[in-house]
Structure 1
Amino acid sequence: MDSTWYTLREEDSILSPALLIYPHRVWTNIVRMLKITDGPERLRPHVKTHKMAEVVSMQLASGIRKFKAATIAEAEMLAGTGAEDVLLAYPLVGPNLDRFVALQQQFPQVIFQAVVDHAEVLELMSECFSYHGLEIPTLVDLDLGLQRTGCSLEEAYALYQAIAELPGIFPGGLHAYDGHLSQRDYEERKAAVMEVYQPVTELKERLIAEGFEVPAFVCGGSPTFAIHAEYPDRECSPGTCVLWDAGYQHLAEEVPFEPAIALFTRVVSRPGRNLLCLDLGTKSLSTDSAERVQFPDYPDAKIVHHYEEHMVIELPGADQIALGKALYGIPWHVCPTVALFEEATVVEDGIARGTWQVLARRRKITV
């Protein structure tokens, strides 16, 4: 990997560990997303990966107007930055129902959309929204096998019908996430998408045939982005594409995205032969995968221990690496890694030029 894009010219002023972001690579990824969908009309990027208002501003500047969020805070960040259409793709239960109302009241110019997967929640949404004089477009969230959220295809028709009949809500379409379709072979992944979505397409066609409006059909994530883009009736909602990571570089080699984030860490000790201790602990890096991070300058490095504030790696020739030396890493899973940092250092032409706040890492901004 070319080290010129992530290496800082002046490292001494940067505290470690640090999250580095490279705007020119972010912009390149945005342009490539738009090329895949042939423009912004069918693109509804998820902001859960970056959680930064500055990245949203870049996406808005590219012509993107629709977005997807997983938290109220992300939705508020989007509205505050100028997004026109925000889909909150997360069940509205507990206090989040009232927070959603407050969000719509605070940003009346924004179209906020909701999802639902259970009739009992739908009734609460209808009661709450109608009480406040709101009419919220609501999408049925479908479970395609991930078994996380979403109703079954058998339950979806009745739920959609209820949305059309209850006050305070109206049909917004269908939402389907396919995060379990992660075959490394592209053709196998594409075949799996076609198989899984065939009954969804039949449901959509049945709804339309029976007189229901289905304004949006929001599908997929980053690994299946290019596949869904081939279908003109689908909105695509990739998230990781804008920053990319080592995990998806490994999984989805066929897509043209590039990492726009790097981790900056230092050697703090040499605990043994061929061992280095870095200040890149579990509080600075996602631990939901065994690989965790790749060090492009040291491809033979292997993690042997990982503690809250320390990472011990095994590396041939480690004894020759000076204490205090800076290393750069590409996270295996960028989304939860970004959320561990309050800010990202902006790097342009190898120079640190300020910071961007990871604003929506908060559970609450104002609402």
Structure 2
Amino acid sequence: MDACYQIDDTSQIISPGLIIFKDLVEDNLQKMVEIVGDPTRLRPHCKTHKMREIIALELSMGIEKHKAATFPEAEMLADTGVKNISLAYNLVGPNITRAVEFRKRWPDVSLQVTADHPRPIVQLGEAMTAAGTEIEVLLDLNTGQNRTGLEPGETAVELYQMIANTPGLIAAGLHVYDGQNHQIDFQEREAAVKAVWNNVSRLRDQLITEGLAVPRIVAGATGSFPIFASIDDPDIEVCPGTCVLHDVGYGELFPDLKFTPAGLVLTRVISRPGSDRITLDLGYKAVASDPAMENRCQFPDLPDAKAVLQNEEHLVVMSARANEFQPGDELLAIPRHICPTSALHKSVTVVSEGQVVDHWNVAARDRFLSV
């Protein structure tokens, strides 16, 4: 095992349990700041970890702007002292009422939400006006992922104008997520990101020409944030996320990003069902199951392990070294996808310099906290 994953005493850690290696988190955050050059240009996404303590670490490093996907995440950010939050999710249904409640509870927080359709824009404006308040709205742009947003063009201009003209709403800029840009080759990824930026910058310039303010462009994802960070434009706020904890999947997709996995799952052998198999207490209630079963995690101390069966509470792996393990033996697993893995755990064990130093709640894993 790499020395950075040393845990001197695991006897009181219940498995399967998510372990946060605090020293590695701090190192990843420092690398993130070094890449962008100025922490005021960062708007990291908290969906990866959902923990107040990591937000506090970021604030201590001068990272004051943050991004969320849910109201619990936004609430966690506000409770931790963040004053500038982008809730990068188009609001419909009860979430419009929740936006009003959020604005009333944290009137000193700059909250930006996203929109890409006239109907919720009208509903949001009416709700804010009735409550006697306002909310900032980012126009959500489709950069090629075809998940949400409008393609840069006349329809986007018209909708941004609508946001600016709707009572209760403030046109606050553009939301530019390019999660489809996960080319392994850096030069190919850079070319794709620059193509996205060229379209966005033309739209921004057109909006300004028509007298509309575009105070910010919330741009990028983990794989593209170094490229957006290299663009000399004061309006860009770059949005890394996964690199705070990092994982196997992003390590393979983006080999140019020199981050270290900082969130691992401690698991124990519970059975030896065959000469070449061990069964671990690492079911899909403990590690993200969106990757293919054989790729859901890696074991630094058992690199040849191949998952052959997973259920809610069990993971069976084949290994030529299976005979070396007995029930009760421990392994650390690096998830392929850390973001949903974090959400599977109510709390985490925090390790620094080999010692268990704390336990942190995964505060924003639920769909509802108080607003």
Aligned mates of 2:26, 2:324 — CA distance in 1: 38
Amino acid at match of 1:357: N
**How far apart are 1:163 and its partner, in Å?**
1.1
Task: Tell me the equivalent position of 1:186.
Answer: 186
Task: Tell me the equivalent position of 2:204.
Answer: 204
Work out whether residues 7 and 328 of structure 1, in 8 Å CA contact, stay in contact via their aligned partners in 2.
no
Aligned mates of 1:276, 1:130 — CA distance in 2: 61
Aligned mates of 1:212, 1:257 — CA distance in 2: 39
Task: Tell me the equivalent position of 2:366.
Answer: 362
Q: What whole-Å deviation, never above 9, does each CA across 1:195-215 have from its counterpart, x for those lacking one?
A: 233222111111112221100
Q: Secondary structure at the match of 1:359?
A: coil
Aligned mates of 1:196, 1:289 — CA distance in 2: 27
Pairs within 5 Å for 1:1-367: 3-154=2-153, 155-233=155-233, 234-290=236-292, 291-367=295-371
Determine what percentage of the aligned residue pairs are the same residue: 45
Aligned mates of 1:183, 1:123 — CA distance in 2: 38
Aligned mates of 2:40, 2:58 — CA distance in 1: 13
User: TM-score with structure 2 length normalisation?
Assistant: 0.97
Aligned mates of 1:69, 1:300 — CA distance in 2: 37
Work out whether residues 83 and 110 of structure 1, in 8 Å CA contact, stay in contact via their aligned partners in 2.
yes
Aligned mates of 1:5, 1:35 — CA distance in 2: 21
Aligned mates of 2:152, 2:118 — CA distance in 1: 14
Q: Secondary structure at the match of 1:360?
A: coil
Amino acid at match of 2:142: D
Work out whether residues 225 and 237 of structure 1, in 8 Å CA contact, stay in contact via their aligned partners in 2.
yes
Q: Secondary structure at the match of 1:173?
A: strand
Work out whether residues 87 and 111 of structure 2, in 8 Å CA contact, stay in contact via their aligned partners in 1.
yes
**How far apart are 1:4 and its partner, in Å?**
1.4
Aligned mates of 1:232, 1:171 — CA distance in 2: 23
Aligned mates of 1:93, 1:45 — CA distance in 2: 24
Q: Secondary structure at the match of 1:268?
A: strand
Q: What whole-Å deviation, never above 9, does each CA across 1:169-197 have from its counterpart, x for those lacking one?
A: 11100001111111111111111111233
Q: What whole-Å deviation, never above 9, does each CA across 1:226-255 have from its counterpart, x for those lacking one?
A: 011011321101111111111111111111
Q: Secondary structure at the match of 2:48?
A: coil
Q: Which runs of 5+ in 2 are unaligned?
A: none
Work out whether residues 303 and 311 of structure 1, in 8 Å CA contact, stay in contact via their aligned partners in 2.
yes
Q: Secondary structure at the match of 2:261?
A: coil
Q: CA RMSD, aligned part only?
A: 1.0
**How far apart are 1:91 and its partner, in Å?**
0.9
Q: Secondary structure at the match of 1:153?
A: coil
Aligned mates of 1:364, 1:330 — CA distance in 2: 29
Q: Which runs of 5+ in 1 are unaligned?
A: none
User: TM-score with structure 1 length normalisation?
Assistant: 0.98
